[in-house]
């Protein structure tokens, strides 16, 4: 099977998803024609030499061997995903709102199918007239960078709550932190981990 892949390779959340997808393709012996969204920054990843060679090989062969008739797997935002290297693009996207715009619905309807990591997103898209297949595909566990620990350092009765990613007003991060700090019951029953990275 010849596959085009159009993925961001960077140290942000989309880049981590792309890394794990490419790692699985590598382990299955699938070498896509790899195009990137934006610049390549792999500094956040643990790369062995064989996987580095695989990535470089996929990147190098892409301009020479890709064909618009090959299927393309693309991981990107809805806006911008209309730009494609294939006639048949399968989009993996993430959506956090409850009301897609007409532009977003039109862009989605011009894909072959869309993969989403949330059942709620699948329902929202289907309720707002997305006519293509909307496929629920939960994210897997990143076994390349994390490992499961059986030890619970905070005790069995403590709930560990984490917020990771970019600090954003639209996601109400400041309000979440302020609410947590004002509620003493929550403070006593939870361990709150915050890791915000905004590289731009």
pLDDT tens across 15-48, in order?
989 999 999 999 999 999 999 998 899 988 888 9
Q: Is residue 142, in this structure, part of any structural domain at all?
A: no
Residues 139-167 have a mean pLDDT of: 74
Report yes or no on 149 lying in a domain.
no
Asked if 102 and 14 sit in the same domain, the reply is yes
Structural domain span for residue 192: 159-196
Statement to judge: residues 33 and 82 lie in one domain = yes
Residue 148 lies in a domain: no
pTM value is 0.78
92 and 169 part of one domain? no
Q: Does residue 119 sit in the same domain as residue 27?
A: yes
Continuous segment of H or E residues that includes residue 23: helix 13-27
Do 107 and 63 share a structural domain? yes
Domain count, the chain: 2
The 3-state secondary structure of 65-110, one letter per residue? HCCCCCEEEEECCCCCCCCCCCCEEEEEECCCCCCCCHHHHHHHHC
CATH code assigned at 106: 3.40.50
φ, ψ of residue 136 to 5 degrees: the values are -75, 125
Q: Are residues 122 and 177 in the same domain?
A: no
pLDDT for 145: 67
Count Cβ atoms below 10 Å from residue 144 Cβ, excluding itself. Answer: 16
Q: Each residue of 75-121: pLDDT tens digit?
A: 999 999 999 999 999 999 999 888 999 999 999 999 999 999 999 99
74: in domain? yes
Asked if the model's pLDDT at residue 12 lies above 90, the reply is no
- Structural Rg of the chain based on CA atoms: 19
The closest alpha carbon to 43, from 59, 74, 19, belongs to: 19
User: Is the per-residue pLDDT at 187 higher than 90?
Assistant: no
**Do 85 and 121 have their domain in common?**
yes
Residues 170 and 121 in one domain: no
Same-domain status, 80 and 14: yes
pLDDT band at residue 1 under the 50/70/90 scheme: low
Q: For the chain, what's the residue count?
A: 200
Coil, helix or strand at residue 180: helix
Do residue 131 and residue 170 come from a single domain? Answer: no
Q: Same domain, yes or no, for 16 and 97?
A: yes
Tell whether 45 and 76 lie within a shared domain. Answer: yes
Phi, psi values for residue 44, rounded to 5°: -85, -5
Q: Is position 188 within any domain? A: yes
């Amino acid at each position: 099977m010849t596959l085009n892949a159009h993925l961001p390779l960077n140290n942000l959340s989309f880049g981590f998803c792309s890394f794990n997808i490419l790692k699985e393709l590598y382990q299955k012996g699938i070498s896509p024609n790899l195009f990137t969204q934006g610049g390549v920054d792999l500094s956040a990843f643990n790369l062995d030499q064989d996987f580095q060679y695989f990535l470089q090989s996929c990147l190098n062969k892409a301009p020479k061997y890709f064909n618009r008739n090959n299927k393309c797997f693309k991981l990107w935002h809805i806006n911008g995903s209309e730009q494609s290297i294939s006639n048949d693009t399968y989009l993996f996207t993430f959506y956090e709102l409850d009301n897609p715009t007409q532009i977003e619905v039109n862009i989605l309807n011009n894909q072959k199918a869309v993969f989403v990591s949330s059942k709620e997103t699948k329902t929202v898209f289907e309720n707002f007239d997305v006519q293509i297949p909307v496929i629920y595909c939960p994210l897997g566990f990143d076994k390349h960078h994390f490992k499961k620990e059986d030890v619970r350092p905070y005790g069995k009765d403590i709930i560990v709550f984490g917020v990771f990613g970019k600090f954003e007003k639209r996601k109400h991060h400041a309000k979440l932190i302020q609410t947590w700090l004002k509620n003493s019951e929550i403070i006593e029953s939870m361990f709150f981990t915050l890791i915000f990275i905004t590289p731009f």
